[in-house]
Chain A
Amino acid sequence: MIRILVVEDILDNLNLVRKALSKAGYEIFHAPDAETGLSMALDLVPDLILLDLGLPDYDGQTLAGWMREEPSLNDTPIIILTAWPEEAAREVVRSYRCDGYIIKPISRVSEFAAQVKSYLKAP
């Protein structure tokens, strides 16, 4: 089963993501802050990480930079979730070597699941 780590502090957002991705057949793991996110990412080495930029301890950019330096996570796509304008999201992706972004709010569950699927690496 494909495993996705969601690093997100807002429960309503998490529930929406969980609903969309569970329905699509993915196994969802959740971290509510950056330090937990890093620890879980290193333990799980998930197939994909969905990373909210606004987190209560360190923000998503700092976490992305740290994850990208971890050899065990080299092949794990990191996708940022943000309400920022697309241009700013692209800059974060470039600067922190993420693999893509999804703009919030998530309005259509099926479209969101398809976006996530497009970032998963082929087995």
Chain B
Amino acid sequence: MQPDNTPQTIKLIPASQFSIEQLTDIYNRTRVDYMVPMPMNAARLAEYVANYDVKLENSIVAASQDGELLGVIMLGVRHERAWITRLGVVPNTRRGGIGKALMQGLIDEAAKLSIDFCMLEVIKNNTPAHQLFLKFGFHEVGELLVLRRSPLNRQLDPVVADAERLERADALVLVGHDRGTQPWTNQSESLFNANEVSGLRLTLPDGSRGWLVYQRQKFLLTRFAYKTEAGDPAKVTYALLSHLHHQYPRLDTHVENIQVNDPHLPGFQEMGYIESFRRIEMWRGDPPADLNKFVRPR
């Protein structure tokens, strides 16, 4: 007989009552059959929680009455905005209202914090999740690309430019400037919270100029923020990337959530970046007037 996991019998428990190892385990179990499973270990999840300002006391684990863990959802909080992430339900318990209960629980948590505006991203073609978010009043605001560049691409000489390397403090000063509305993962706070952040700034002979800030992990370059201050964004991006990959020829590169209409995108493509998959960005509620406001972490 199937266990009774109807919404009336599901217990919603603050995620802060679980260890990071337990949260990692339940998260991984919800993703085991995903086409893009993105499993994590405890260290990665802890980094994720810290980088993206996830509040575990407002995040939720769903459990059955007999204590079996069924699903998870997490809430990021920054100023007057919230982010819904890591929603997942264990495969053999899906279609029983657990996802709906988790979503309602999280929206209630945001409301307790007096936050009406929520953001999220959903992998394109994940129809059940997309439909669930629509039912909760989310609407689509754009399409995002996840890009990869293999370190095995042919190495090219850096474009001739006046280039300078930026240490963390100088890089973060640039990131804090207005870069328009960004998905949660790419907002300035995400870079401020990350380790091993540095940057590049360059000026081309024709006066075009811009900067790129990134995180360098052991095997990977990731978490890009960038801006063209003058000139053609694609040309400036290509030049910046040529210097970056010349500096780190052995590192793989993973760039998340670039808007499909980002004018910098042709520069990435010319440098050998390929599309890995797409996400849909969705919002619920009216964006606060200071959506792009960046509050420097203490």
Contact = CB atoms under 8 A, between A and B. Distances in A.
Contact of A68 (B32, B148, B152): B152
Interface stretch (B36-44, B171-179, B184-192, B195-203): B36-44
Interface string A45-60: 0000000001111110
B285 to A, nearest CB: 33
A10 B218 CA distance: 24
Interface residues of B, number: 25
Interface in B1-53: 24, 28, 32, 35-41, 43-44
A86 interface: no
Contacts of B32: 10
Interface residues of A, number: 23
B219 A62 contact: yes
A66 to B, nearest CB: 6
A65 B219 CA distance: 9
A55 to B, nearest CB: 7
Contacts of B250: 66, 69
A63 B220 CA distance: 10
Contacts of A61: 148, 150, 252
A62 B220 contact: yes
Most buried by B among A10, A56, A63: A56
Contacts of A84: 35-36
Interface string B203-233: 0000000000000011110000000000000
Interface in A1-25: 9-10
B271 interface: no
A57 B39 CA distance: 8
A60 B282 CA distance: 29
B97 interface: no
Interface in A94-108: 95-97
Most buried by A among B38, B150, B151, B220: B150
A34 B44 CA distance: 13
A83 interface: yes
B151 A65 contact: yes
Interface string A80-118: 000110000001000111000000000000000000000
Contacts of A62: 219-220, 252, 254
A16 to B, nearest CB: 13
Nearest to B220: A62
Contact of B41 (A57, A63, A68, A96): A57
Given A69-B151, A69-B152, A69-B250, A54 B37 contact: yes
11 contacts: A10-B39, A54-B39, A57-B44, A59-B254, A61-B150, A62-B219, A65-B252, A69-B250, A84-B36, A95-B152, A96-B150
Given A62-B252, A65-B152, A91-B274, 12 more contacts: A54-B36, A54-B39, A55-B39, A56-B40, A57-B41, A57-B44, A59-B254, A61-B150, A63-B219, A65-B252, A66-B219, A66-B250
